[in-house]
């Protein structure tokens, strides 16, 4: 226990991503360097400036809910419920018992945008058919907090329950605040993560209009190329990541599987610009330093950084500068990678997905690559694990998440070792 605080561990993980429909399939694809990008199939994108994305493929919501419930759930909510079921099942907490009382179990799930496809469909119905034709389920299908609400209803979790909305840092905030809830004694168990389903006409058009997206329509698989000199924007992704967090004593007491430790959380704001990072990454530096301090970890103890690494010109160079500032000369000894090169930018779900990847790297001693990195930007000169996974012992990992609005979150994970 660090400084007398409760240690917080992870006992369950669930993933729905563009390269896999669970943890094992996602991990296998990532370490193999498989891209999840391809032409958009969820709608007719023929008139869009950008016609490709990292879609979740082959997802059947009826594996996780009945047909009526699936029809009344936006895709972002379907993903969240699926990932939560995977995580809760692995943790062995399908029903609240005396080992995990309902009033000591909470849910925090973030989403940057919520039910955007539902909003688009219902707005079209309003314009074409009039207000009487708008679905009575529109509001609950659309609002971002419904993922946390529905997960709590499914598992009878009556502890802290809310959504975090901080753009691409949303689910990183959810995981970090869940950590604090357990440390502060508000709960013994927290179901935390994020979900996003924004491969929609409006979202694609909006990001393309602001020139945030890669336009490599002729080569989707190579479009997401973090830290490369030829990067030209991110690739929209979708999916969900959910973790079950517990106090270490609670998990040990009920004989739960311990997958790793959630050791530190740092958050900050750039206070600079709506969409651009502050030059030098001052806000990112502050979040990383606070996370390391919170975890009682020195910079030279970090083995792996899962970078925010969006493949945009501004982010990648700024994040590199921030890493150099925080880690000093030791930055060149770090192993860094951006798994967004394979699964795209899942926006509000990214932080939780990438925290899970860090936990897996700690547990399994493998680091996924940054694919499509054949021509590094001279300003991005760290070890970004180009193109191939590497085997390396990882005791401590750091995950970065930065969002529009200047939101910054860093999370430290650690391989579990009982003191």
> Residue 382 phi/psi, 5° resolution?
-90, 180
- Pairing mode of beta strands 390-391, 239-247: unpaired
- Structural domain 268-407, CATH architecture: 3-Layer(aba) Sandwich (3.40)
**Contact assessment for residue 12 and residue 89, using Cβ atoms and an 8 Å cutoff:** yes
pLDDT attached to residue 1: 43
Which residues of the chain fall short of a pLDDT of 70? 1-3, 95-100, 419
**Contact assessment for residue 6 and residue 248, using Cβ atoms and an 8 Å cutoff:** yes
CATH T-level fold of 2-260:
Peroxisomal Thiolase; Chain A, domain 1 (3.40.47)
Q: What is the pTM assigned to this prediction? A: 0.96
CA neighbor of 302 nearest in space, from 277, 344, 266: 266
Task: Assess whether the region 2-260 and the region 268-407 belong to the same CATH fold.
Answer: yes
Between CA 44 and CA 21 the distance in angstroms is 24
Active-site residues, by number, are 168, 308, 345
pLDDT attached to residue 5: 86
**Residue 130 burial class via C-beta count within 10 angstroms: exposed 0-12, middle 13-18, buried 19 and up:** exposed
The set of residues, in sequence order, having a beta carbon less than 8 Å from that of 17 and lying 6+ positions away, is 26, 36, 56, 237, 239, 241, 343, 346, 353
pLDDT attached to residue 351: 98
Residues pairing with 408 in the sheet:
268, 402
pLDDT attached to residue 94: 74
Between CA 251 and CA 241 the distance in angstroms is 21
Between CA 410 and CA 401 the distance in angstroms is 6
pLDDT attached to residue 4: 72
Between CA 390 and CA 269 the distance in angstroms is 33
Angle at 396 between CA 303 and CA 383, to 5 degrees: 20
CA neighbor of 94 nearest in space, from 14, 163, 172, 196: 14
DSSP calls for 200-268: SHHHHHHHHHTT-B---TT-GGGT--TTBTT---B-BB-EEEEEEEEEHHHHHHTT----EEEEEEEEE
**Residue 191 burial class via C-beta count within 10 angstroms: exposed 0-12, middle 13-18, buried 19 and up:** buried
Domain ranges of the chain: 2-260, 268-407
């Amino acid at each position: 226990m660090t400084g007398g605080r409760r240690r917080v561990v992870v006992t369950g993980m669930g993933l729905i991503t563009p390269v896999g429909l669970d943890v094992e399939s996602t991990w296998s694809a990532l370490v193999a360097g498989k891209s999840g990008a391809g032409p958009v199939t969820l709608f007719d994108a023929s008139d869009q400036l950008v016609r490709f994305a990292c879609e979740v493929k082959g997802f059947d919501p009826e594996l996780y809910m009945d047909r009526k419930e699936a029809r009344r759930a936006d895709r972002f909510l379907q993903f969240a419920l699926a990932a939560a079921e995977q995580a809760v099942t692995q943790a062995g907490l399908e029903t609240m018992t005396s080992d995990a009382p309902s009033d000591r179990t909470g849910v925090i799930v973030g989403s940057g945008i919520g039910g955007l496809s539902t909003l688009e469909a219902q707005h079209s119905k309003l314009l074409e058919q009039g207000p009487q034709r708008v679905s009575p389920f529109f509001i609950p299908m659309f609002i971002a907090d419904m993922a946390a609400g529905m997960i709590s209803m499914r598992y009878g979790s009556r502890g802290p329950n809310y959504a975090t909305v901080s753009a691409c840092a949303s689910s990183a905030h959810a995981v970090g605040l869940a950590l604090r809830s357990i440390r502060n004694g508000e709960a013994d168990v927290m179901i935390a993560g994020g979900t996003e389903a924004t491969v929609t006409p409006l979202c694609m058009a909006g990001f393309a209009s602001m020139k945030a997206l890669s336009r490599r329509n002729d080569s989707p698989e190579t479009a997401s190329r973090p830290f490369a000199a030829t990067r030209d924007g991110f690739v929209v992704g979708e999916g969900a990541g959910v973790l079950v967090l517990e106090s270490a004593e609670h998990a040990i007491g009920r004989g739960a599987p311990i997958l790793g430790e959630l050791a530190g959380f740092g958050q900050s704001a750039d206070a600079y610009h709506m969409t651009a990072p502050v030059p030098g990454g001052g806000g990112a530096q502050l979040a990383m330093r606070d996370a390391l301090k919170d975890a009682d970890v020195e910079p030279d103890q970090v083995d792996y950084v899962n970078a925010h690494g969006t493949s945009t010109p501004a982010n990648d160079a700024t994040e590199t500068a921030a890493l150099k500032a925080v880690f000093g000369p030791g930055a060149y000894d770090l192993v860094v990678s951006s798994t967004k090169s394979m699964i795209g930018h899942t926006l509000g779900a990214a932080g939780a997905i990438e925290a899970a990847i860090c936990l897996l790297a700690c547990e399994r001693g493998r680091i996924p690559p940054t694919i499509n990195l054949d021509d590094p930007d001279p300003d991005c000169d760290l070890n970004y694990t180009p193109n191939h996974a590497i085997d390396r012992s990882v005791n401590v990992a750091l995950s970065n998440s930065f969002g529009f609005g200047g939101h910054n979150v860093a999370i430290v994970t650690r391989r579990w070792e009982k003191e």
